[in-house]
Chain A
């Protein structure tokens, strides 16, 4: 017996360890896992760390981005291609935890933890991100919708690890944003809204809207999107989107906010994000 801390340096080695020690837990940044272990004073049989797996520590910028599962959020936010093409992700990382947390936490860990309020999930939803999963048997890719199944539940199977998050290149004229409200910065979101909008003159073109912390899983709001797509840009459309979003979500009341307040605030953020994206100097925060 005895606890072992494994530090593989290649993906192949990591997968071999994961297959060999089915009771071991995977650790990336540790910002969820270590809190859980510290709180319960539990020592798992073994940890398999991804931090030193070389192949997982890079961001590849080819046709879209491939963000390795061991890249800390801070390096995601400061990567020039992320800033240029995926500002909603930069917005999310900017409000994420603290500098210390951003130096450790990973995108893949944020999705694997599958919190309804995971801040990186709404931006990744509007960017059509794919989760790359690998096991000894091979590789598969899932959309965020197919990967996050419920609070704390994912499609990750035994013997599998997430090796990267892939994001296709954004449409050239699309603008995007993530707005979130928490009680204070160092707290989970009460609600968070990511939106991406393409304008066609004074008319809204393709639009994507996703919200976190207002349903069992972070999710797109297709009914709200259809209110906006093809409608005239302006206060009237934004107000209709706000009303639709308030109905479309299914929030709960908890210590952070009541259900009603979450509905109200999510509507406000939908309206505000669309207005900002459509204004001439929109985009960014």
Chain B
């Protein structure tokens, strides 16, 4: 039997009629059509499904959709501005070659967003530690760390500190 689940998605209220056993990942992709969030392993290991729920990075493949009710969910689709202008972290991933095939990128970018919200000036070690739960099979991570480092600088610059 379907149930109605409502939450904020990237700033907008959404409601969906869903099977209550589904994961947030399924509903984002299949019901709401937001396919930026990826499924890699479905076991919490790869981080391709990373989204923010009330600001905290979680694996949406391990997150029952019913737990999203009443929360604020942010996915990679919520980063760019309405006119398409990229956010500093997206810009930095482009500038530094932080994406190759791009499959891991939405999850890594969201892990980066969570890191920078908590720690606007992370060391390289802190950036690497924050990516423990995100696998990339292409880049070798060097460009990803560089991109997040640059995003930190750009974000601090924008805030004027």
Contact = CB atoms under 8 A, between A and B. Distances in A.
Interface of A: 2-5, 7, 27, 30-31, 34-35, 38-39, 43, 47, 49, 51, 72, 74, 97-101, 103-104, 185-186
Contacts of A43: 21
Given A2-B1, A103-B57, A98 B62 contact: no
B45 A47 contact: no
Interface in B53-67: 56-59, 61-64, 66-67
A5 B133 contact: no
B61 A47 contact: no
Nearest to A186: B132
B132 A104 contact: no
A30 B62 CA distance: 6
A133 to B, nearest CB: 24
A65 to B, nearest CB: 22
B44 interface: yes
18 contacts: A4-B20, A5-B21, A5-B64, A34-B61, A34-B62, A35-B62, A38-B42, A38-B62, A43-B21, A47-B64, A74-B56, A98-B44, A99-B115, A99-B132, A100-B57, A103-B57, A104-B63, A186-B132
Contacts of A31: 44, 59, 62
Contacts, number: 83
B66 A98 contact: no
Contacts of A104: 58-59, 62-63
Interface residues of B, number: 30
Interface in B1-54: 1, 3, 19-21, 23, 42-45, 47, 50
B67 A51 contact: yes
A121 B19 CA distance: 36
A164 B50 CA distance: 28
A5 B69 CA distance: 12
B59 A100 contact: yes
Given A30-B62, A104-B63, A35 B43 contact: yes
Contact of A99 (B20, B21, B57): B57
Contacts of A30: 62-64, 67
A237 to B, nearest CB: 34
Nearest to A49: B67
Given A7-B66, A38-B42, A186-B133, A100 B50 contact: yes
Interface centre among A4, A97, A100 (most CB of B within 10 A): A100
B43 A101 contact: no
A100 B62 CA distance: 10
Given A100-B111, A103-B56, A38 B61 contact: yes
A7 B71 CA distance: 14
A98 B3 contact: no
Interface string B139-154: 0000000000000000
Nearest to A35: B43
A53 B18 CA distance: 23
Contact of A35 (B20, B44, B114): B44
Nearest to B20: A5
A49 B66 contact: yes
A183 B27 CA distance: 34
A103 B58 contact: yes
Which of A27, A31, A39, A51 has the most B CB atoms < 10 Å from its CB?
A31
Contact of B133 (A2, A39, A49, A101): A101
B72 interface: no
